[in-house]
Amino acid sequence: MRPSGRAPDQMRPVTIEPHFTRHAEGSVLIGFGDTRVLVTASIEERLPPWLRGKGEGWVTAEYGMLPRATHTRGSREAAKGKQSGRTQEIQRLIGRSLRAVTDLKLLGERQITLDCDVIQADGGTRTASISGAWVALRLAVNGLLKEGKLTVDPIRQKVAAVSCGIYKGDPVLDLDYDEDSNADADANFVLLENGHIAEAQATAEGATYDEESLLRLLRLARMGCTEIFRAQDKALSA
């Protein structure tokens, strides 16, 4: 039995509130249950120097956790003067996932930065970030198309992400904090709507796992992403 009473293949409610803030070219507040992440997409018409002159754009991400997003207060990375290895790993993953569905040549020489800031954490903050970031990116690119700055849509696919893991011996979908901190293995899958995989990561925590388990986790992730794609659609048509 899962601590939350959910079925093994049951997602937490996925909520996506678009246009949560005013200034960003795209913004959403995404929730996977009690996990809530504010994502903004910022368009800059200039690339940083090391990316200029290749005739293509760039999509990147930054990730942060408010100090009291968690059960006990963590220290503020700005005050400590550096981002943790975990933070850097997550923001690299988010950026990669969005670039996997973006045609950078079509985007043109501009940069879009996805800022993913965790307001409240209850497991799955990186996958919620990716899933929300795609909507924020979509909103920002819609603006560019509407303003005529782009004529061809550079976003090739929808992308969503979800965690799953082996908890007390059973594969389960969308780990919350209680499960995450006690899982034998946990995995994150970044999937496209056409079934393709952008990123698969499965890590043994308490126990190593076999190939069959890897496949069952992937199947759960497919079910989760179907729900997330639906929530993304709903948010965009709102």
CA nearest neighbour of 131 among 55, 212, 51, 190: 190
Single out the residue of 47, 51, 66, 145 in contact with a second copy (rule: CB under 8 A). 66
Specify the residue, 8 or 20, whose C-beta has the smaller distance to a second copy.
20
Give dist(CA 117, CA 135) in Å, integer.
Answer: 15
Give yes or no for residue 47 binding a second copy (CB under 8 A): no
- Determine if residue 126 is labeled as part of a ligand binding site: yes
Closest C-alpha to 228, from 182, 196, 200, 193 = 193
The only residue of 117, 153, 178, 233 in contact with a second copy, by rule CB under 8 A = 117
User: Restricting to residues 186-205, which ones interact with a second copy according to CB under 8 A?
Assistant: 192, 195-204
Other C-beta atoms closer than 10 Å to the C-beta of 196 total 12
Tell which residue, 20, 59, 57, has the closest CA to residue 40.
20
CA dist., res. 18 & res. 39, Å (int): 10
The answer to whether residue 13 forms part of the interface with a second copy (CB under 8 A) is no
In DSSP terms, 112 is beta-bridged to: 43, 59
Q: Does 143 bind a second copy (CB under 8 A)?
A: no
Say whether residue 21 binds a second copy (CB under 8 A). yes
Question: Under rule CB under 8 A, how many of the chain's residues touch a second copy?
Answer: 63
Six token digits for residue 7:
């079925």
Give the residues lining the site for a second copy (CB under 8 A): 21-24, 27, 34, 36, 38, 40, 42, 44, 62, 64, 66-73, 76-79, 81-83, 85-89, 91-92, 96, 100-101, 113, 115, 117, 119-121, 157, 192, 195-204, 208-211, 214-215, 218
